Amino acid sequence: MKAQKSWSEKLSDSKDLPRVQPIPDRMRARWGGGTLVIPAPIEVDEMMQQVPKGRVTTVNQIRAALAEKHSATIACPLTTGIFAWIAAHAAEEKAAAKPKARITPYWRTLKAGGVLNEKYPGGITTQKQRLKAEGHSVIRKGKNHVVADLHKSLFDFGIKESD
């Protein structure tokens, strides 16, 4: 039986990515024409690492920055989200092995609209604690937890589009 890959191994496995291709027919109704970049997992992690303490970003902002980097119309929403999730788990895996190691601050990467990500290690509770420790207010909005006054703390990757 083949051993399961660690989160760090998954993060390092580029699978011949990044790749820019025409937007597939099945996605055109929602996204229109143009090109789609499927980023490498490590690229998503590198974007997440850029967000400084006291600031946050969203997966959509990361997607916009990746699209701009690769001169594509959009970055794949599915793979970008999956790779952010892998980066989060790889960060916790690294922290468990080396407690004093610097890890990707995955808790600063939110879903669209500033929604906390329940799929990150420790779920909403851990992400909320880490964000509050960095000075953010987290409020309840319907069934979601969101960063209050999101626009005031968004990190600017130097892209024209914002969330």
> Mean pLDDT, 10 residues at a time, over the chain (163 residues)?
89 95 93 95 98 97 97 97 98 96 97 97 97 97 96 87 46
- Domain-by-domain residue ranges, the chain? 7-153
Instruction: From residue 124, give the alpha-carbon distance in Å to each of 33, 80, 127.
Output: 36, 20, 5
| Structural tokens at position 56 | 């946050």
Question: What pLDDT sits at residue 15?
Answer: 87
Question: What pLDDT sits at residue 80?
Answer: 98
- Determine the topology of domain 7-153 in CATH: Arc Repressor Mutant, subunit A (1.10.10)
Question: What pLDDT sits at residue 163?
Answer: 46
Q: Which amino acid would we find at residue 69?
A: K
Comparing CA positions, the residue from 60, 72, 76, 73 lying closest to residue 155 is 60
Tens-digit pLDDT profile for residues 96-128: 999 999 999 999 999 999 999 999 999 999 999
